[in-house]
């Protein structure tokens, strides 16, 4: 039995809408702090010139030598916000500054004559790759990040790449656009003195980029994203900055509702599911789903969404149908008016209260529930499989000493018996053999 609930909620309206979330449900995000999990300076099928790399190629770094100053600000180093960036091998990590080249006209060919001419060989073709990202619950996704990038298109350039098979093969999504520059020296001060043409001595201007991920990236367990950098070593022309990236986020732009502060609070004899939400329009309702193992979920209640857009609303549901010292898993299914939906993250709750046991036995063919004080308050019994699917319903047999549920035609495994009364209900696990 699921509950249909209509609740009048107190509205919390603020002029700043402090809890408003500008992006929908997030599949992945990183700011390249400790534990970011990215693989640097790796080679994949797109790095077609990796075999021709020079002795001193440009390389990927993660450090504060190039700091994320925020969109619209000029670049700077050691400002307290690490980034992923391309730097130099010959002089080390100086931020998004690199050796442009010197072996004129050698292109992507061998660099054997570089040393004889007293020049560095900086032919480069290498990638930086994210950890595995699951998108199994998503039907649309955008990729967004902040960046600076100049170099020279077609010669020295950065590309956005992705893999839908865990990094076995990679596909180019797009070139990273050119961000432009600001005049003036590197600084941790905010602002961009002038919008300037990049000359190699100016600082990059931090910008935002957003792209729609293709359908092949949706609903899969093993997406990866990354960046490819290549340098052809043709010219010594000043081309800084190279590329720096930060604040990568993969998010669903079409989530009809923004879920904030979702939690399951454990009380003595119940678990209260609470969350805040802001309607984005066209949203219909929440389905509260529960599980015993965090895998097989079934609906236990529905709550209507609020009709006021951009208003922070508190929602809650008290689950009284719980056993003591048992861990329960909860998630929200956010359903649009057209039937599309998104799933929240999973939260757990556990009560300390222990209710008296219902007296029942099982002989391999029949479950017998004793009609005594342990079950007298219940009028109906439902049998559900592990996914929450209803298998059968039976009225309690008050005229007999026991209520029988025949299981001989069921597959062996775990099931749930839900006892339903006027004032309460409860669920217990049953193993059939």
**Res 312: pLDDT:** 63
Q: Would the CATH topology of 26-251 be identical to that of 360-432?
A: no
The reported pTM is 0.56
| CATH topology (fold) of 26-251 | Jelly Rolls (2.60.120)
Spacing of C-alpha 245 from chain mean position: 19
**Res 386: pLDDT:** 75
pLDDT in tens, the chain (433 residues): 344 333 333 322 222 222 233 344 788 989 998 789 999 999 999 999 888 888 888 999 999 999 998 888 888 889 889 999 999 887 789 898 887 775 544 444 456 555 555 566 788 999 999 999 999 988 889 898 989 988 765 678 899 999 999 999 999 999 998 887 887 777 787 777 666 667 667 788 888 888 889 999 999 999 999 999 998 776 555 577 899 999 998 988 765 566 777 899 988 778 999 988 766 566 788 889 988 888 778 888 888 876 555 556 789 999 988 877 788 999 988 887 766 677 788 899 988 766 667 888 888 888 888 887 777 778 888 888 877 788 888 888 777 888 888 888 888 888 888 888 776 677 878 888 7
Q: What is the pLDDT of residues 179-196, one digit of tens each?
A: 878 877 777 877 776 666
Give the start-to-end residue ranges of the domains of the chain. 26-251, 256-350, 360-432
User: Into which CATH architecture does domain 256-350 fall?
Assistant: Sandwich (2.60)
Please check whether the domain covering 360-432 is classified as CATH 2.60.40.10: yes
């Amino acid at each position: 039995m699921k509950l249909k609930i209509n609740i009048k909620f107190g509205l919390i309206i603020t002029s700043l809408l402090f809890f408003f979330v500008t992006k929908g449900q997030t599949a992945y995000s990183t700011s390249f702090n400790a534990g970011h999990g990215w693989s640097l300076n790796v080679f994949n099928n797109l790095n077609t010139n990796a075999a021709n790399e020079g002795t001193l190629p440009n390389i990927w770094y993660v450090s504060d030598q190039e700091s994320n100053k925020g969109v619209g600000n000029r670049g700077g180093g050691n400002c307290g916000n690490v980034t992923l960036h391309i730097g130099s091998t010959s002089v080390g990590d100086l931020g998004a500054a690199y050796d442009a080249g010197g072996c004129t006209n050698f292109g992507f060919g061998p660099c054997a004559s570089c040393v004889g001419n007293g020049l560095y060989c900086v032919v480069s073709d290498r990638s930086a790759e994210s950890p595995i990202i699951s998108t199994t619950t998503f039907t649309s996704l955008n990729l967004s990040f902040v960046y600076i990038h100049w170099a020279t298109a077609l010669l020295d350039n950065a590309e956005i790449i992705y893999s839908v098979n865990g990094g076995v093969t990679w596909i180019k999504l797009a070139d990273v656009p050119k961000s432009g520059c600001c005049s003036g020296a590197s600084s941790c001060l905010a602002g961009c003195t002038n919008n300037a043409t990049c000359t190699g001595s100016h600082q990059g201007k931090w910008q935002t980029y957003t792209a729609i991920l293709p359908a092949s990236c949706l609903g899969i367990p093993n997406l990866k994203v990354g960046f490819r950098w290549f340098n052809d070593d043709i010219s010594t022309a000043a081309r800084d900055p190279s590329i720096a990236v930060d604040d990568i986020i993969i998010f669903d732009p079409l989530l009809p509702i923004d879920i904030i502060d979702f939690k399951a609070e454990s009380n003595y004899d119940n678990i209260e599911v609470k969350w805040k939400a802001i309607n984005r329009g066209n949203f219909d309702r929440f389905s509260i789903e529960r599980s015993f193992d965090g895998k097989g979920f079934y609906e236990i209640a529905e709550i209507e969404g609020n009709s006021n857009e951009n208003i922070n609303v508190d929602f809650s549901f008290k689950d009284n149908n719980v056993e003591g010292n048992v861990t329960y898993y909860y998630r929200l299914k956010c359903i649009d008016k057209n039937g599309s939906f998104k799933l929240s993250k999973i939260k757990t709750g556990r009560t300390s209260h222990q209710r008296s046991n219902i007296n029942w036995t099982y002989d391999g063919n029949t479950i017998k529930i004793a009609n005594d004080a342990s079950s007298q308050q219940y009028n109906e019994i439902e049998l559900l499989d592990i996914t929450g699917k209803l298998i059968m319903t039976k009225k309690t047999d008050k005229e007999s000493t026991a209520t029988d549920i025949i299981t001989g035609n069921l597959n062996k495994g775990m099931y749930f018996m839900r006892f339903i009364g006027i004032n309460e209900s409860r669920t217990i696990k049953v193993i059939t053999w």
